[in-house]
Structure 1
Amino acid sequence: MTESELYSVHKGVFVPTHLHPAESLKYYEDFIFRPDDILIVTYPKSGTIWMQEIVPLVVSEGDLTLVLTVPNWDRVPWLEEHRAILLSLEQRASPRIFATHFHHQMMNPSYFKIEPRVLYVMRNPKDVFISSFHYYGMASFLVNPGTQDEFMEKFLNGNIMFGSWFDHVKGWLNAAEQEHILYISYEEMINDLRASVEKIATFLGKSLSSEVVEKIADHCVFKNMKQNKMSNLSLVPEEFMDQKKSEFLRKGIAGDWKNHFSAAQEERFNAVYDDKMKDVKFKFPWD
């Protein structure tokens, strides 16, 4: 099926209509934030599921009950998805934890007024591309990716769900409310998960013992988290995600793109990356 059949356009970017019907997008537009809300913001395939596991454990000081009994889409709901309407989020006790794939300029009026706490997770766009390519091949609500070359052009031009990776990252890096934002990368979490848990805890004002930090880090190592049926999306019906084609949580590594890119694809990607990111001063771990 085509983009026009599977997607709608919201604030300038494609969103899958199955997950984000008009009433869900309106719900998010009208949503009222609290100052102590915690918002995990990612471009798709950048570590969202991982953060949906880590952040509740930091908040609960290592209590595994929630992450082992509640699916991640209800535990840390995406505010733009249809599930959010059903969860009585207004009645949830603080601190509430949410996720979103929205660009900075797509955030609602309440966000800019209240400025809740944001954890913004970034990942090497080459790995985001490879992960997305596999995801689009197994999810029925997304347009078939075609060949890797075809999908690369769509990715580089932002003609995929949630638009351009480049615009997403630059928009959040340029946010005015940076004192309320923690910038963290997928790669630093891979490199030292324990230090990343401590960094997140400090940002959220949680003083955790070394034993609790170790417990959280051990549970959230990718190979362990991948076994949690509340987090690996194995509960999603096969008609929507066929994990026999590709697991939703695949490898959880950095640099897998090197196993998939041809020399020509790497050259093409680098040329676009260098042009679009030339004015960005932020130091990324993959540069």
Structure 2
Amino acid sequence: MRYNVVVATHHKTGTVWMDGVFKGIAADLGVAYIDFKVWYEHRREQLSEALKAPFILLSTDSDFRSHGSLLEREDVRVLHLIRDPRDVVISAMHYHRKSKESWLHEPVPGYDDVTYQRRLKGLPNTHQRYIYEMEHSSGGTVQDMLRWRYGRPDCFEARYEELRQDIELRYWRRITAFLGFDAAERKICDAHFWRNSLFGGLSRLGNRHVRSGDIGQWKREFTVPLAYAFIGCFPGALQALGYEADHNWVLDLQHAPPRRRFGDSALRPLRELSRAFSFF
């Protein structure tokens, strides 16, 4: 390894996928594999020493707390992974309804001490459950993606959608070359990427953590009212992250009534929604 490698993801943007890939790479290359959150919470006093040796580090929320300077080190290359926020909401809602992660089963202050999962499952319909996700866990994830400092020269800004379709590993090989792996190491990287991908090894073995993993799930899941609610919660997020140029994607939804692109009259519902949410 020419550089130490930092992998920065967000909840439901391919975190478990990247964990499997890079944990395997680290094991084969004989370098330390550091789950930043686990070390920060349970082995913080040892973390600074661990970051002196050759390592591959994963941050599951792209928050490096007091170790933010790690991203500026000359001996570090970073892979940052994002996903379409609309698919984040969909994936997170379904995952949170069934997951056994401990935080989902802890009482939530302000909700009569009902747990996150129980509150989510108790809502009357899918629309309300998606709204709940937008206003809570997934809302935090979207804000985290927006707060990330883009444009770092030593960071490869990757998209889940590109990796999910990368059957020929062209995109992945661009990433591993950028991260500084040599030719022999890149073959190891390729093997672990394929083995942990839904179009590769996992297609045969399955993965209970993954419900779908498809891209563009929002196109069949989002209704027009839900789309308006999404824009109200995250105005400009899709544009800032490069997923949409404007709000016209709402008009392309399967259940959207045929009409012209967003002009003044079409924008009126958004303005009314914005006043209700006080976000615009």
User: What per-residue deviation string (whole Å, max 9, x for no partner) do you get for residues 113-160 of structure 1?
Assistant: 662432111111121111111221123421112343333333333x22
**Conservation of the 8 A alpha-carbon contact between 1:118 and 1:180:** yes
Q: Are residues 88 and 36 of structure 1, via their aligned partners in 2, closer, same or farther at CA, if it must alter by over 3 Å?
A: farther
Residue 45 of structure 1: how far off its partner (Å): 0.7
Gaps of 5+ in 2: 105-115, 250-280
Query: Which residue is 2:89 aligned to?
Result: 129
> Is the Cα–Cα contact under 8 Å of residues 89 and 134 in structure 2 kept in the other structure?
no
Residues 1:225 and 2:202 aligned together: yes
- Provide closer, same or farther for how the CA distance between residues 218 and 156 of structure 1 changes in structure 2, counting only shifts above 3 A: closer
Alignment check: 8 A CA contact 1:43 1:165 kept = yes
Whole-angstrom distance in 1 between the partners of 2:42 and 2:57? 10
- Residue identity in the other structure for 2:131: E
Report if the CA contact (8 A) 1:58-1:201 is conserved: no
Deviations 1:84-138 (CA, angstroms, capped at 9, x unpaired): 53996645884322222335xx533332266243211111112111111122112
Code of the residue aligned with 1:195 in structure 2: it is R
Which is richer in helix? Answer: 2
Residue by residue over 1:250-282, the C-alpha shift from the partner in whole angstroms, topping out at 9 and shown as x without a partner, is: 222212233433332234324544x232772x5
Distance in 2 separating the partners of 1:53 and 1:285: 30
Q: 2:177 matched to 1:202?
A: yes
Q: Say if 1:110 and 1:204 are closer, same or farther in 2 by CA, change over 3 A.
A: same
Query: Of the candidates 112, 128, 149, which is equivalent to residue 127 of structure 2?
Result: 149
Shift of 1:53: 2.7
Q: Given the alignment of the two structures, is residue 112 of structure 1 paired with residue 69 of structure 2, yes or no?
A: yes
AA at the equivalent of 2:194: D
Report if aligned partners of 2:83, 2:160 keep a CA contact under 8 Å in 1. yes
Alignment partners' CA distance in 1, 2:190 and 2:57 = 24
Query: What corresponds to 1:169 in structure 2?
Result: 145
| Matching residue of 1:55 | 22
Aligned pair in 2 of structure 1 residues 128, 213: CA closer, same or farther (>3 Å)? same
**One-letter code of the match for 1:112?**
S
**Partner Cα distance (1:75, 1:181) in 2:** 19
C-alpha distance in 1, partners of 2:239/2:86? 19
CA contact (8 A) 2:85 2:238 kept: no
Alpha-carbon distance in structure 2 between the residues aligned to 1:271 and 1:91: 43
2:230 maps to 1:269: yes
RMSD of the alignment, in Å?
A: 3.9
Moved more, 125-134 or 84-93: 84-93
2 CA distance for matches of 1:175 and 1:80? 25
Percent of pairs identical after alignment? Answer: 20
CA distance 1:76–1:262, shift in 2 (3 Å): farther
TM-score w.r.t. length of structure 1: 0.61
Residues 3 and 180, structure 2, Cα contact 8 Å, conserved in 1: no
In the alignment, structure 1 residue 255 sits paired with structure 2 residue 230: no
- Number of aligned residues: 220
Choose from 137, 146, 152 the match for 1:160.
Answer: 137
| Other structure's SS at 2:78 match | strand
**Would you say the 8 A contact 1:156–1:269 is kept in 2?**
yes
Larger relative contact order (C-alpha < 8 A, sep ≥ 6)? Answer: 1
The 1:250/1:113 distance shift into structure 2, 3 A limit, reads closer
List per-residue Cα deviations over 1:156-208 (Å, max 9, x = no partner).
33x227x5233211211x347x1122110110001224013212211211133
Quick one: structure 1 residues 38 and 262, their matched pair in 2 at CA, closer, same or farther if it must change by over 3 Å? same
Paired residue secondary structure (1:222): coil
Task: Assess, with a 3 A threshold, how the Cα gap between structure 1 residues 204 and 258 changes in structure 2: closer, same or farther.
Answer: same
